């Protein structure tokens, strides 16, 4: 059974460089103007060179690090520069995703908006809004992606510079995410 989290905006992609962080940072910039926001980046790939920061969990099967630097080219550093109050980098296999999100939920204020980059988390969480990103020149999707497409609230194509969707139409109101067309 999936955990309901209307305060979570989940962004997944069909592959690398699909624009996930570009859209996430745009949303963070907009929302952080009016209230604090948290960002999370989750990957199933374990990196030997771990990002510096506050380590919350450091195991062979799960790593959670709070990003503290704004001066790197890492996606988590970009999220901090965009205005996120807290940013967490998670390395976890699918079996640890539920545990990872439960740990992070206890580290942040309740009902705070969260922007999260993760494909696998959709199997454990029912987010307020789920965006699927695809790079326009991508013809082959990573494994498991086609199952996610049907769950997405919005399919967004990214040409390498800008998405075919205006992230400014994403709002956070009454503790949930919505897409509201501009007038």
Domain regions of the chain by residue span:
3-179
Residues 6+ apart with CB under 8 A from 80: 39, 67, 69, 70, 87
Q: pLDDT confidence of 51, banded at 50, 70, 90?
A: low
Distance CA 165, CA 58 (A): 37
Distance CA 30, CA 14 (A): 25
Query: For residue 7, which of 166, 167, 125, 163 has the smallest C-alpha distance?
Result: 125
pLDDT at 146: 75
pLDDT at 134: 85
The predicted model scores a pTM of: 0.90
CATH 3.40.50 fits 3-179, yes or no: yes
pLDDT at 50: 64
Q: Which residue's structure tokens are 């205005």?
A: 83
- pLDDT (tens digit per residue) in 118-162: 988 998 899 999 999 888 887 777 777 777 888 888 888 888 778
- pLDDT (tens digit per residue) in 92-116: 988 999 999 999 989 998 889 999 9
Pairing, β 154-158 against β 125-135: parallel
Distances (CA, A) of 15 to 30, 55, 72, 156, 160: 25, 27, 22, 13, 12
Distance CA 35, CA 44 (A): 30
């Amino acid at each position: 059974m999936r955990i309901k989290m209307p305060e979570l905006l989940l962004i997944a992609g069909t592959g690398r460089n699909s624009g996930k962080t570009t859209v996430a940072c745009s949303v963070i910039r907009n929302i952080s103007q009016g209230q604090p926001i948290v960002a999370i980046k989750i990957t199933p790939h374990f990196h030997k060179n771990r990002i510096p920061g506050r380590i919350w969990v450091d195991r062979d099967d799960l790593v959670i690090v709070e990003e503290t630097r704004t001066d790197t080219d890492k996606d988590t550093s970009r999220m901090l520069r965009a205005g996120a109050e807290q940013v967490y980098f998670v390395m976890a296999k699918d079996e640890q995703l539920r545990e990872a999100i439960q740990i992070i939920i206890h580290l942040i204020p309740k009902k705070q908006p969260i922007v999260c980059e993760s494909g696998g988390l959709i199997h454990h969480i029912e987010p307020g809004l789920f965006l699927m990103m695809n790079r326009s020149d991508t013809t082959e999707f990573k494994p498991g992606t086609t199952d996610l497409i049907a769950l997405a609230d919005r399919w967004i194509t990214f040409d390498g510079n800008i998405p075919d969707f205006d992230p400014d139409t994403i709002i956070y109101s009454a503790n949930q995410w919505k897409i509201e067309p501009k007038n």
